[in-house]
Every structure is written in C-alpha cells, then in structure tokens.
Amino acid sequence: MQIHRSFDNLHAIKNPVVTTGSFDGVHIGHKVIINRLNSLAGEINGESVLITFHPHPRLVLYPETAGKTLRLINTQREKIHLLEKTGLGHLVIINFTKEFSETTSQQFVEDILLGKLHAKKIIVGFNHHFGHNREGDYSYLYKLTKDHNFEVEEIPEQDLENETVSSTITRKALSEGRIQRANAYLDHHFIMMGELKEGNKKCREAGFLTLEMIVEEEIKLVPLEGVYAVSLTCNDSYYRGMLNIKNLNNTNIPGVQVHLFDLEPNHDLIDKMATITFHKRMRGELMLNKTDDLKNQLLKDKSEIEELIY
C-alpha cells in the first residue's frame, strides 16, 4: 500500500477506483467497501484508492468540545497498520484544515476526485456524506455522473445479528468493556499501538514483569477499566499477558499496564514500539493494597488467561 500525504503524483495512479471517509476502526462495513474497491480495480486493470482525513474533522471544526468528547477506535498509526492488511493499493491522507473544510461537495468531486485523481469509479457507504456541511452523498454523486466520465456505486449497510455495524456501535461496545462484541464488529481484534515504558514496581514486587504503554493520541478510545486478556507483539516476538486499565477518572495520564507471562528479566522492550491485541475482559478493577493479595489475584488471572490464549 502506497501512502500519499499530498495530491502530488496522484495522476499517475492507473484507472483509480476511489472511496473516501474516516474509516475509524476498519470494521466489517469498511472492509466490504475496500473489498469491492479491490475487486472493481481488478476488473478494469486499475488501482484502489482510499482518501481519508487527519486530524479528524471534528477536532478542527469544534476544537473546544471535540478534544474532550471525541474518542476514536484507532490512532493514525493503527489505521494505517490495519489498512495495509486489506490489499488496498493507495491511501491518501488529506491534512484537514479550516480552509479545507470550506471545500464544497462539487469542488471535492470535480477538483480532487476527478481533477487530480481522475477517478473512474467512486464507491461510498450507505450513509456517507462529504463536502462543506456534509452536503454531498450518493444521490449527489449519481447526478454528477450524467455530466462527468465516472461511475458511482453505493454499498448497503452491513448487519451482524440484526445490528447495523458502525464505528459508533463499536465504540460503545469498547467503552462498556464488551471486547469480544467489538471484535466481532471489527472482524479483527481491537489493538493498541505505542511505545513501551517501565511499568508498575508494585507488580514487579509481586513477581510479574510489568510494562506500560502510553496512549499515543489523546483521542484514542481506551476501553472500560479492568483486566483484559491480551497478547503483545514487539520485534517479531509474541507474548501472552494481562493488561490493566485503571479508572481514567482517577489518573491524569491515560496509560495501560501490561503484565507479560513469558518475559525474561533482561528483556530489551523498553522504548520499543509494540502492538497489544485485546481478547477478552476478565474482570473489573480491584483495590488490592497488600502485595500478597495482589500476587494471588494476578496468579489467578494468569491461570485463566493461559487457558484462553495459546
């Protein structure tokens, strides 16, 4: 997958089949759109293209409120990581500014999708809107096809057990600690990516090597407090472990503590980038002040997680 952070050289993309949107989570519905992009691109000897925006438009348009309320399933790093697995040909990341927010739907189509990219086909989701004040949608695109040389297709909503899959419903499941349900909406495991630091000394005293991952972006959605069964990959090494998320109302720094089962004391993971994969929420947060109580609880958690993750 090629990543473009400007409109330079987009004209070199062959017979582009294009979609646009936030694609937060890269969930089931997003994957259906991307699979259709790739399929159509193959049919016309073209290339699949996804245009997305960074930072999130709400952060630019409503900075005072969005910074406090907006929570996204993926950081930009995580989104790129997930999209690379879909077979997508090109990812165009547009720097979203207040000036760009004034771009009308007509300007976006005629100047960017057709003018700079020369899109042959445009694919959109069932509820997709774009342009200033979100005035553009599938119906608008369809009308433009009569005067311009491109085709448009709308992908219907995707359901899972009679629920329409969306980024919103996935965020709700994560915020409630329903990791397995969120993973079903995503069709992959929820992940966190970031740099590893030294962890809680109290847990080390209880016999568990602990690392901390600081949340990379403030708007990254951190699941409900509690203990989770996780796996961690770093430098091609794989570890099982349990991860603790503290009540974010009681801490100023959103971070997570991860206790890895098979980590050697002389490990070299500090300051390395890693990916944590969430499998299941095991329990809520417990206030354990005595080292022996903490050790016994961690041993119990470890035993249960070892039966869950291989």
Q: How do residues 172-191 score in pLDDT, each as one tens digit?
A: 999 999 999 999 999 999 99
Closest to 222 measured CA to CA, from 200, 196, 194, 202: 194
pLDDT value at residue 70: 94
Spatial CB neighbours of 97, under 8 Å, sequence gap ≥ 6: 60
pLDDT tens for 57-99 read 999 999 999 888 999 999 999 999 999 999 999 999 999 999 9
**To which residue do tokens 């929820």 refer?**
190
For the residues 22-28, what does the mean pLDDT come to?
98
Element (H, E) at 195: strand 191-198
Query: Residue 252 above 80 pLDDT?
Result: no
| Runs of H (alpha helix) within 93-194 | 98-101, 105-107, 138-144, 167-175, 179-186
**To which residue do tokens 């119906």 refer?**
139
Which of the pair, 264 or 279, is modelled with greater confidence?
279
Q: Are 73 and 24 in contact (CB under 8 A)?
A: yes
Closest to 310 measured CA to CA, from 238, 234, 256, 212: 238
- Strand, helix or coil at 139? helix
pLDDT value at residue 110: 96
**Which residue pairs, CB below 8 angstroms and at least 24 apart, start in 133-137?**
135/104, 135/105, 136/105, 136/106, 136/108, 136/109
Which of the pair, 237 or 251, is modelled with greater confidence?
237
**To which residue do tokens 């290339």 refer?**
47
pLDDT value at residue 263: 81
pLDDT tens for 142-177 read 999 999 999 999 999 999 999 999 999 999 999 999
Q: Are strands 47-54 and 16-20 parallel, antiparallel or unpaired?
A: parallel
Structural domains of the chain ordered from first start: 2-164 (3.40.50.620), 189-308 (2.40.30.30)
Average pLDDT taken over every residue of the chain? 93
